[in-house]
Amino acid sequence: MSNQSITVDVVNPETLPADRFTASDVARVALGNHTEDVASRAVSLARLLGDDLAVAGDYVNAAWHIQHTAGDLVTAAVVAERVRGASWEDIAKACVMTAAKAEEQWGQAVAEWQGKSPAQNLYLRETGRYAKTADRFIESGRPYSPRNTAPKLLSAVLDAASEQTNRDVAAADRKFAGGACSHCAS
């Protein structure tokens, strides 16, 4: 990565002609959106740690979804690099594997990406819209969150802070271990 700072005029990507977006543009926009998805899921898991409404399985479920979307993120990164001209050797070196293994693992995904039509790929259909979403995430450093309520900080629900927060640790643990809510369990 370069440390050089370049000043660029702000462009609304939604106003750019659709036929001007290159394959590299579309692949990088998709990568940006996959990055935000993983970040959003990670933030949701972190917020879940401070949520007394969490039940057994919630942490694992959230982490499992992060792992799944992280796999999609790696695939999107490989596609973006291949579209921009990276060799399988370049990708293999970054992933500490052989070029043959890298091509075996992601070659089909790259071929499928390159063969998709706008009807099959929403990033091709709405590149400008998704570019704007990626820009918002890049600029703010925070993924989109539809929550209207402020998240509860983990420190507010730590057992060690229960005396200061008047939190009933035993009740919270019983509620957590109980799994489904009481009306769902009957």
CB atoms within 10 A of CB 152: 15
Which residues does 113 contact at the CB level (< 8 Å), separation at least 6? 27, 79, 83, 121
pLDDT at site 161: 66
Q: Give the tens place of pLDDT for each residue, 51-83.
A: 888 899 999 999 999 999 999 999 999 999 999
How many alpha carbons lie under 13 Å from residue 175 in its C-beta half-sphere? Answer: 11
- Structure confidence at residue 155 as a pLDDT band (50, 70, 90): low
Contact indicator for 79, 111 with CB cutoff of 8 Å: no
pTM as predicted: 0.77
CA distance linking residue 55 with residue 178, whole number of Å: 7
pLDDT at site 38: 96
- Structure confidence at residue 179 as a pLDDT band (50, 70, 90): low
Which range (91-95, 107-111, 133-137, 180-184) has the least confidence?
A: 180-184
Which residues does 154 contact at the CB level (< 8 Å), separation at least 6? 46, 49, 50
More confident of the two residues 144 and 51: 51
CA distance linking residue 58 with residue 67, whole number of Å: 14
